[in-house]
Amino acid sequence: MTYQNFSLAQLQAIDGAHHLHPFTDHKDLRAAGARMITYAKGPFIYDSEGNEILDGMAGLWCVNIGYGRDELAEAAYAQMKELPYYNSFFRCSTPTPVLLSQKLAEISPPNLNQVFYGSSGSEANDTALRLVRHYWALEGKPQKNRVISRQSAYHGSTIAGTSLGGMNAMHGQLYGAVPNIAHVMMPYAYELQHAGESDHDFGLRAAKAVEDEILRAGADNVAAFIGEPVQGAGGVKIPPASYWPEIQRICRKYDVLLMLDEVITGYGRTGEWFAAQSMGIEPDTMTTAKALTSGYQPLSALFVSDRVASTIVEKGGEFFHGYTYSGHPVACAVALKNLEIIEREGMIERVRDETGPYFAAALKERIAGHDLVGEVRSFGFLGAIEIVKDKATKERFAPAGSAATLVRDHAIANGMMLRATGDTMILSPPLIWTKEIIDMACERIVKALDAAK
């Protein structure tokens, strides 16, 4: 039985009756019915009715090499035939996670040479939180277990992920939260930079919020600081260049571990393998997922610094943590092939030197001037468009988020998939976008903005 035997209405009815969707108002979904995405090739997705949509989000920030890559399907097929599954528990291992770990150590910042696998970014962040607490306990400082995060951060949907995250709707105590996690301001210049304050000074002020919290809680009680290099789901909030080096300096000064969440930024999106390299920092843990396999298989990799890993190895004792699918052989085979393609096709250099700068200029020249746009910003292949009612005062439309949702709906109707988060439209294109595709995206976004006026 294949889905082709079902009409769209039938699929929608079954979907409504049996399928609970992530991040969805089901009352609304049942009224509207889901769009069925049935096929994808290169930068485009197609729905069951044959509509072609340019995917400005690379799925969910993950399909970096684009859709329809036979080589990944072949890698999965070959591995499934040879060894579809075996675990890395109980003094066993399988070859693909071993070889992938070596490759990841090669492309990551020099102090990150060990990885721990899971299946999602949320799992990776759960692991990272437990690991840093485990580390300090091994170091004889179990009370050093507080973690500092930031408002509007997104670190996943599990209880630990939402506790680390700083989004009000998700973080609510309603669902229960992991204790001893604090949230400080994020470097969101569009709303928080003072008039007359330089970008440099704003970056230092935002970093100082972390230092203030360390001093308030006492450095002996603070295990780590966690942050996304560029806040993604929170609205592609790009910190000034002064921010991350200052955060690293503060963390080192107070012996606080630096945890970087590169679930969105990893594997080329910023024009380097990792944003840590773009920002010039060396974190103690680095969580990655999504584009590790370009979304073709679920897989996450938590990188662990030599400092943390050597304590774990030298002190010994079991880290009571792991997943059935840690180091899944098929997912790791697909990741190896995906990294090979990114490298072979020079995708990262192209984003850094050619298409990334073109994307930035296109947003500025063609989108920023629109009446509904308060600001555009980008970093590599991450972009944001602030939707406002009044450009000068930055006044937003009411209710919050309504205008961006409207723009998104018009964008889809015009063949362009964008995401709306609050009053911000976000873009995270696959790394295969050419200048021509960027032009096409801008045309469609302008149409959507015009239609929403």
Dihedral angle over CA of 446, 443, 278, 294, nearest 10: 110
Least separation in angstroms between residue 184's CB and ligand PLP is 17
Least separation in angstroms between residue 247's CB and ligand PLP is 16
Which residues, numbered 233-272, are part of the site for ligand PLP (CB under 6 A)? 233, 261, 263-264
Least separation in angstroms between residue 90's CB and ligand PLP is 26
Question: Considering only residues 66, 232, 235, 271, which one is a binding residue for ligand PLP as defined by CB under 6 A?
Answer: 232
Q: Please say which residue, 96 or 125, places its beta carbon nearer to ligand PLP.
A: 125
155 binds ligand PLP (CB under 6 A): yes
The DSSP letter of residue 183 is E
Q: Please say which residue, 231 or 414, places its beta carbon nearer to ligand PLP.
A: 231
| Residue pair 225/186 in contact by the 8 Å Cβ criterion | no
Residue with tokens 């560029």: 230
Least separation in angstroms between residue 186's CB and ligand PLP is 13
149 binds ligand PLP (CB under 6 A): no
Q: Report how far apart the first and last C-alpha atoms of the chain are (Å, whole number).
A: 45
Which residues, numbered 108-147, are part of the site for ligand PLP (CB under 6 A)? 120-122, 125
Give CA–CA dist 70/139, Å, rounded.
47
Candidates 94-102, 148-156, 276-284, 313-321 — which segment interacts with ligand PLP by CB under 6 A? 148-156
379 binds ligand PLP (CB under 6 A): no
Q: Could you tell me which residues come within 8 angstroms of residue 234 by beta carbon, excluding any fewer than 6 positions away?
A: 152, 153, 154, 166, 167, 186, 228, 421
Least separation in angstroms between residue 218's CB and ligand PLP is 28
Query: Nearest residue to ligand PLP, using CB?
Result: 121
Three-state DSSP state, 78: helix
Token pair of 139, please? Answer: 């170091």
- Side-chain-side CA neighbours of residue 183 (13 Å): 19
Least separation in angstroms between residue 264's CB and ligand PLP is 4
| Residue pair 384/376 in contact by the 8 Å Cβ criterion | yes
Least separation in angstroms between residue 119's CB and ligand PLP is 8
**Which of 117, 139, 160 lies closest to 303, judged by CA?**
117
User: CA dist 363 to 62, 324, 393, 447, Å?
Assistant: 21, 44, 21, 14
Strand order in the sheet with 382-387: 373-379, 382-387, 424-427, 419-421
Q: Please say which residue, 300 or 414, places its beta carbon nearer to ligand PLP.
A: 300
Tell me the number of residues near ligand PLP by CB under 6 A. Answer: 14
Give CA–CA dist 187/153, Å, rounded.
11
Q: Please say which residue, 204 or 259, places its beta carbon nearer to ligand PLP.
A: 259
Candidates 106-114, 154-162, 333-341, 431-439 — which segment interacts with ligand PLP by CB under 6 A? 154-162
Q: Could you tell me which residues come within 8 angstroms of residue 159 by beta carbon, excluding any fewer than 6 positions away?
A: 175, 176, 177, 178
Mark 169-208 with x for binding to ligand PLP (rule: CB under 6 A) and - for no binding.
Answer: ----------------------------------------
Least separation in angstroms between residue 292's CB and ligand PLP is 10
Kindly list the residues in this chain that would bind ligand PLP in the complex (CB under 6 A).
120-122, 125, 154-156, 228, 232-233, 261, 263-264, 289
